[in-house]
Structure formats: C-alpha cells, structure tokens
Amino acid sequence: MGYLGMIIVALMVVIVFKILQVCRIVVWRPYAVTKCFRNQGIMGPSYSILSGSLCEMKKLRRVAMGTALNANSHDITERVIPHFTTWSSQYGETFLYWYGLQPRLYISDPELAKHILSNKSNIFVKPKARPTAEIFAGKGLPLINGLDWFRHRKIANPAFSMDKLKGMVQGMATCTVSMLDNWKNHADDQCREIEVHGEFKRLMADIIAHTAFGSSFVAGNEAFKAQLQLQQRCAASSTDTFIPGSQYLPTPSNIHIWKLDRKVKETLKSIIDGRLNSPNTGNSNRYGDDLLGTMIDALDIFQSRSGPKLNMEEIIEECKAFFVAGHGTTASFLTWIVFLLCKHSEWQTKLREEVLKECGMRIPDADMLAKLKLVNMVFLEALRLYCPVIRLFRQGSEDTKIGNLMIPRDTCIEIALIEIHRSEKYWGQDAKEFNPLRFINGISQAAKHPNALLEFGFGPRTCIGQNLAMLAGKTTITLILQRFSLSLAPEYKHTPVDNLLLEPQFGLPIVAKPFQ
C-alpha cells in the first residue's frame, strides 16, 4: 500500500472515530442516562436529538410571557419557570430533562441540596457554562472550580471582610443620597413616578464601581454598560439549541458580542494599568484597599511577594464576575423589596418607624443598620419569595450516590430554590404569602428544615458578597424610607421573569411621595 493509500485509511479511521464519538454523545449517552434514571423511578420529558427538551421549554415560556399575575399573588413559579411547573405535575418533584445535550436532574429537597452544596471533595462542581455566559459573567469565582477557585477565593476574601465593608457604608450612602436628591428635584406636585428597577441598576453600578474601583468608578461604569448588553444577549439565547463551535463563527450576533467583550476588557485593563502606575502609599495596601487593589497586590508580576498569584487576564475576569454577581443580584433584590413594601403598606410603616427610631434622619452607619431587626426580617422574607437567583447548578464529576439516587457522571443537578422557598412542607400553609414575622427567631427556626432558605447558597461556595449585598440593600432602603413613602403606579403589571436573574419584565413603576 502506497503513502496515498495509508493517508486515506488514516483519514477514514479518524472520520469513523469522530462519527462514533458524535453518536455516543448525541444518541447513546442520552439513552443510557435516561434508562439509568428510569430504573430508579425518575422520569421526565422525552429527549430530542441535539435540542433535548429546549423546544418544549421555549414554547411554554413564550406562552407564559404573554400573561400577567395578580399583583397580590407571590406564587410566581408558573410564570417564571412554566416548563418545570408542567413537568413536576407530570413526573413528580424530582425529574430528568435535557438542556440540549446536557442531562439535568431537577430537585427541590433541601436535604439533598445541603448534601450537594456542602460537599468539599470536589465531586459536585460548577458545570461549564455556555460560551456567551462565560463572556458575560466572567471566568471568575462564580464559574471556576478546583484549585483555581481556591486560589481566587483566598485572594478575594480580605476585600470582603466585615471591617472593610463597614467602612464602605458611607460611600454607599453618598451614591444613594445622590439618586434620592434627583427623585426629589424632579417631583411634580410633591410626587414623582419612578421606574425603580432601572434606578437601582444605575445605583448598584455606582456602588459596585466605588467598591471595586475606588476613584476609577466612572471608567468602571463604562465597562458595566457594555456588560449589561452582554447580559441581554445571553438571556435571549438561553433556550436556543447550542451547537459546539458556533461561538467561533463570525455571525452578526457573535461579532456584536466580541465587540462588547473587547470594550469591557480594554476598559478594565486601562483601570488596572492606571492603578499600577499610580500606587498610593497612604493605604495599608499600596494599590488600594478595595477589591481591585487586593487583586493587583497578588499580580504575578510581583514575583517576590508570597502567597497565591493572579495574572492580568484573571483579574479582568474577576472584575467582570464581581460586577455581574454584585450589581444585578442586588438591584433585583432591592426592586422586589420595594414591590413588597408597596403591596404591604403596613410593613412600610413599621420599617419607617424602626428606621426613624434607630437612625433618625441621619446617614446610617454599619452599627445603626445592625439594629434594624424588622428591616432584616423583611429582607429575608423578600429573599425567600423573590430570590434573584432562583436555581443553583452543580455537576457530578464522577458516578455518585446521594440519598437513594445514583447519579451518573456529568449529570447536571439543578437545585430549585424557587420551589424550596415556597414549599408548604417546610414553610407551612402561608408559604406563598408575605410574612416577615416567620423570621422573628432567626433563619434556622423559620422553617421545618434548617436549610429551607438558600438565598446565598450553602457550604464552601456560599456567596462571598452576601454581606456587601445586605449592607448596600439596608443602606438604600433606610435612606429611601427616611425621605419617601412608596406606592405602586397604576400601570404596574406583575410580570416577574427569569432573565438569568429574577426581574420584573416591564420594570417596577412606583409613585414616590416625599415623606413629611
């Protein structure tokens, strides 16, 4: 056989091997995984080649988006995740569905959730995100695994210590007062209609930019605007069938995503270079005590420094991740708190009385905020009913048994916070009602299961920014209640939607009246 014949045979072997690989991924694995779960009594919607269950998800979501809920109802599951409402009624609380080629096991048991989230042996890892999600969310702490995650977390931890966060309250208040002064200055007849979801997005961009970038917050905001556009692109494509490799094709959508990502990275790189070129010897950390300064101090160009290191690309990705995790979630959280206070005016009155008692009309500090017990209870109840992140994902790195379930390797486990937080089994007959008093004795005593509230996750990967989010939220709500009484605008439609975060589909218009 000549060289040409040998090359042809080799090519044929490669082609056959690739075809067999594709068949294994597209046909054999879905069959084997489905059979494994069926033998354990776990059923689910049928698998379609390449698209999995995405077509049915998209169809049910399209119908749900055309409806609006009663504003007095906090039972939002059917509108936010209609496919899961349909499937759980057909297949039970635990079922299997296919996100394209990825098998997903849907669970709503807090005991199983605790077991998965508290695991420290690296068996349950964050599943690999779609390329668009990685570009939008940044390949930082929320998405990375293993030793990289441990290294990044160890470097970032000092920036989120409570002592440092307490010192940021004044800056948070300054940003909030500026927003509220604008509300008052543009009020007509002592009232003003405001779309607060957009307002809170801009406010949290200011606060996060100050927190992360210090004096460079204006440039940071420019990067954030581009990243918000990336979020919209990512949310719009979340139920589309993903074909591996398509992210490299120069389609109009991909080209737009590349341009936005390049703008974000170039802006962040210029901020980092500016900090490197102008160190501040007045701080305990010469590059600043904020998150950016903490990470720059660990830059790998400083070979003489001990401890874990980051390279420039990793710092940029962490800055992106911090903005997404801190900005969008807290803005969503604040929006739903205002909605609940508008719907339950008696609680708005109670909170205002507590704020005026503990803070008067002064700018609050961390010690004042710590005394606001009713405010804290309302925050916890808002996180229960309208948690910005309604699902958590983990993926088994090996065949694993949890409870009575044997889970094949690479199965993605979807923990349905939205279901756990509303379950009458754990929260009682009023599970779908607003009742902050359930938290009067703390989180562990509020429900029949101590882990029935997972608003910031659980275990080693508990949200690193939870204290920052709570401080920013309490500062904002305190300053609003000192100055305004709030009510829903007549045109408000109760249309929560899962755009990667739980948000009001058409915003939250309210009427703000200066408080006398």
- pLDDT above 70: percentage of residues in the chain: 91
pLDDT band with cut points at 50, 70 and 90 for residue 322: confident
Say how far apart CA 145 and CA 300 lie, in whole Å.
20
Q: Is 103 exposed, middle or buried (0-12, 13-18, 19+ CB in 10 A)?
A: buried
Say how far apart CA 71 and CA 139 lie, in whole Å.
37
Say how far apart CA 497 and CA 505 lie, in whole Å.
6
Say how far apart CA 514 and CA 191 lie, in whole Å.
7
**Token pair 């904020």 in the structure block, residue:** 290
Average pLDDT over residues 221-237: 70
Q: Is the pLDDT of residue 395 over 80?
A: yes
Average pLDDT over residues 370-390: 96
Average pLDDT over residues 238-267: 78
State the sign of the Cα–Cα–Cα–Cα dihedral 350, 353, 359, 362.
positive
3-state secondary structure 173-203: HHHHHHHHHHHHHCCECCEEEEEHHHHHHHH
DSSP state of 27: I
Ramachandran angles phi, psi of 499, nearest 5°: -100, 60
State the sign of the Cα–Cα–Cα–Cα dihedral 458, 463, 466, 472.
negative
Higher pLDDT, 136 or 446: 446
What is the reported pTM? 0.89
369 neighbors 471 (Cβ within 8 angstroms): yes
| Confidence at residue 19, expressed as pLDDT on a 0 to 100 scale | 83
Q: Is 273 exposed, middle or buried (0-12, 13-18, 19+ CB in 10 A)?
A: exposed
Say how far apart CA 286 and CA 304 lie, in whole Å.
15
pLDDT in tens, 181-207: 999 887 666 788 999 999 998 898 888
| Confidence at residue 283, expressed as pLDDT on a 0 to 100 scale | 58
Q: Which secondary structure element, helix H or strand E, spans residue 99, and what is its range?
A: strand 95-99
- Comparing C-alpha atoms, which of 329, 334, 341, 349 is closest to residue 434? 341
| Confidence at residue 418, expressed as pLDDT on a 0 to 100 scale | 95
Say how far apart CA 288 and CA 297 lie, in whole Å.
9
**Residues near 253 by beta carbon (within 8 Å), at least 6 away in sequence:** 233, 237
Helices (H), 27-98: 29-38, 54-65, 77-80, 82-91
At 319 the three-state DSSP class reads helix
pLDDT band with cut points at 50, 70 and 90 for residue 289: confident
Query: What residue ranges do the domains of the chain occupy?
Result: 40-514
Length of the chain counted residue by residue:
516
Range among 32-36, 156-160, 292-296, 324-328 rated most confident? 32-36
Q: Is the pLDDT of residue 5 over 90?
A: no
Average pLDDT over residues 238-255: 75
Q: Is the pLDDT of residue 217 over 60?
A: no
Range among 32-46, 173-187, 196-210 rated most confident? 32-46
| Confidence at residue 262, expressed as pLDDT on a 0 to 100 scale | 85
| Confidence at residue 41, expressed as pLDDT on a 0 to 100 scale | 94
| Confidence at residue 516, expressed as pLDDT on a 0 to 100 scale | 63
Amino acid at 44: G
Task: Say if residue 23 carries a ligand binding annotation.
Answer: no
| Confidence at residue 290, expressed as pLDDT on a 0 to 100 scale | 76
CATH T-level fold of 40-514: Cytochrome p450 (1.10.630)
Helices (H), 41-81: 54-65, 77-80
Ramachandran angles phi, psi of 73, nearest 5°: -100, 135
- pLDDT above 90: percentage of residues in the chain: 47
- Comparing C-alpha atoms, which of 448, 441, 193, 235 is closest to residue 324? 235
| Confidence at residue 238, expressed as pLDDT on a 0 to 100 scale | 62
Say how far apart CA 54 and CA 61 lie, in whole Å.
10
DSSP state of 10: H
Higher pLDDT, 3 or 483: 483
| Confidence at residue 305, expressed as pLDDT on a 0 to 100 scale | 65
Average pLDDT score, the chain: 87
For the chain, the first-to-last Cα distance in angstroms comes to 96
Average pLDDT over residues 55-59: 90
**Residues near 344 by beta carbon (within 8 Å), at least 6 away in sequence:** 434
Other C-beta atoms lying within 10 Å of the C-beta of residue 162: 11
Instruction: With both helix axes pointing from N to C terminus, report the angle between 169-185 and 466-483 in degrees, rounded to the nearest 10.
Output: 40
| Confidence at residue 215, expressed as pLDDT on a 0 to 100 scale | 54
Other C-beta atoms lying within 10 Å of the C-beta of residue 408: 16
Q: Is the pLDDT of residue 360 over 60?
A: yes
